[in-house]
Amino acid sequence: MRIQLVTPSPKALLDGNRVTALRWVRLLKALGHRASVARQYEGGSCDVLIALHALKSFKSICRFQEKYPDKPLVVVLTGTDLYRDLHRRPEVRHSLKLATHLVVLQKQALEELPASVRQKTCVIYQSAEPFKGKASPPKSYFQICVVGNLRPEKDPFRAAQASRRLPASSRIRIVQVGAALGPEMEKRALDEDQKNPRYRWLGALPYGKTRRLVADSHLVALTSRMEGSSNVLSEALISSVPVVASQIPGLMGTLGENYPGYFPFGDTRALAEQLRKAEKDPAFYGQLKAHCARVSWLVHPQREQASWGKFLEGISSNQLPLKCP
The pLDDT of residue 17: 84
What is the 3 state secondary structure string of the chain?
CEEEEECCCCCCCCCHHHHHHHHHHHHHHHCCCEEEEECCCCCCCCCEEEEECCCCCHHHHHHHHHHCCCCCEEEECCHHHHHCHHHCCHHHHHHHHHCCEEEECCHHHHHHCCHHHHHHEEECCCCCCCCCCCCCCCCCCEEEEEECCECHHHCCCHHHHHHCCCCCCCCEEEEEECCECCHHHHHHHHHHHHHCCCEEECCCCCHHHHHHHHHCCCEEEECCCCCCCCHHHHHHHHCCCCEEEECCHHHHHHHCCCCCCEECCCCHHHHHHHHHHHHHCHHHHHHHHHHHHHHHHHHCHHHHHHHHHHHHHHHHCCCCCCCCC
pLDDT of residue 318: 72
Say what the pTM is: 0.92
Region label for 74, one of left (φ > 0), alpha (ψ between -120 and 50) or beta (otherwise): beta
CA torsion sign, 32 to 37 to 40 to 42? negative
Looking at residue 132, what is its pLDDT? 86
pLDDT for position 10: 75
Using alpha carbons only, give the angle 269, 228, 241 rounded to the nearest 5 degrees: 60
Tens of pLDDT, residue by residue, the chain (325 residues) = 999 999 988 776 667 788 899 999 999 999 999 999 999 999 999 999 999 999 999 999 999 999 999 999 999 999 999 999 999 999 999 999 999 999 999 999 999 999 999 999 999 999 999 998 888 899 999 999 999 999 999 999 999 999 999 999 999 999 999 999 999 999 999 999 999 999 999 999 999 999 999 999 999 999 999 998 999 999 999 999 999 999 999 999 999 999 999 999 999 999 999 999 999 999 999 999 999 999 999 999 999 999 999 999 988 777 666 666 5
How deeply is 194 buried, as exposed, middle or buried, from its count of CB atoms within 10 A (0-12, 13-18, 19+)?
exposed
Q: Which domains does the chain have, with CATH numbers?
A: 2-127+300-316 (3.40.50.2000), 142-299 (3.40.50.2000)
